[in-house]
Amino acid sequence: MFSLRQIRYFIGVAEAGQVSRAARALNVSQSAVTLAVKDLEGQLGVTLFDRHSGGLALTLDGHRFLQHARNIQGSVADAMNSMRTDFVDVAGHVRLGLSYMMSGYFIFPVLARFRRAYPDIHFELVELDRIALEDAVRGGTVDVALLLTSNLEDRATIECTTFHQSPRRLWLSSAHPLLERDAVSFADIANEAYVMHTMDEADQSAHKYWNTAGLEPQVTYTTGSLEAVRSMVANGFAVTILSDMVYRPWSLDGGRIVKRDIAAALPSMDMGIAWKKGRTLSPPEQTFFDYLAEQG
């Protein structure tokens, strides 16, 4: 039977994409991480990672197990919280605003675990774009909002806390020549056909870091569909740069997508919770806030 330590190390490597980076984040030796992942693969009877020159990429089995691993980690945290001697039952209603990305790629597994821990806290969910979400927070039509805090514009009247930072990396097809490079730069990527994703202002964020690099991507297609992005990348029509939160190693048509680091500083995609400045969170809202902070 695998251990919680193996689960934690596996998640660390999956998020970091490199054993060395995961070991630093976990404050353990590389050999400990390598051995834990190897033992986990042996116990599961599957290969969780493909090894390549730039690091590690989740296999299809690895990607499937990652969600189970996160659920295990979350369930353990829930169990520990339930044993707290200062635990107090909390009940109430939260009007929760969601950005498109938080709705599609984050919130529902988290809410499922939260509901098991706090069954008397109920949510009214509404999905809006960033501008409408900020209006809803200011106007009080939502109590709190989950959004990309890195995109938040109104920091004068809206308070926010970031609870997770998702690194951005280059996405390539499994046969792309750039995978053979020891390092990939913005200049290398600028020579490639590029698919631009627009959900939650991803295109605006992309233009900012491309401008910082002093270059422009050769955008051949612009879309709000992540599945279209994945299909184009997997089938070799284009490359893109997106965050790990929305990465999947396979497209719906069965094509393989590999992510790798870029030899340049890239801003992370920051996720968090926002509420109107000066407003005191209600007990259910504060409980949800604390839960998100613990989940990280």
Residues 6+ apart with CB under 8 A from 143: 94, 95, 96, 275, 282, 285
List, as one string, the DSSP characters of 102-120.
Answer: HHHHTHHHHHHHHHHH-TT
Residue 254, Cβ density class (10 Å: 0-12 exposed, 13-18 middle, ≥19 buried): exposed
Q: pLDDT tens across 128-158, in order? A: 999 999 999 999 999 999 999 999 999 999 9
What is the chain's alpha carbon radius of gyration, rounded to the nearest angstrom?
Answer: 20
* Tens-place pLDDT, residues 270-279: 999 999 999 9
What pLDDT digit, counting tens, does each position of 94-133 carry? 999 999 999 999 899 889 888 888 999 999 999 999 999 9
The separation between CA 277 and the C-alpha centre of its own chain, rounded to angstroms, equals 26
Residues in the chain with pLDDT < 50? 85-86
Give pLDDT, residue 85: 46
Q: Give the DSSP H or E segment for 12.
A: helix 4-16
Residue with tokens 């990429």: 57
Q: Coil, helix or strand for 229?
A: helix
Contact (Cβ atoms closer than 8 angstroms) between residue 144 and residue 286: no
Q: Are 166 and 268 in contact (CB under 8 A)?
A: yes
User: Using one digit for the tens of pLDDT, what is the confidence trace for 37-49?
Assistant: 888 888 889 998 8
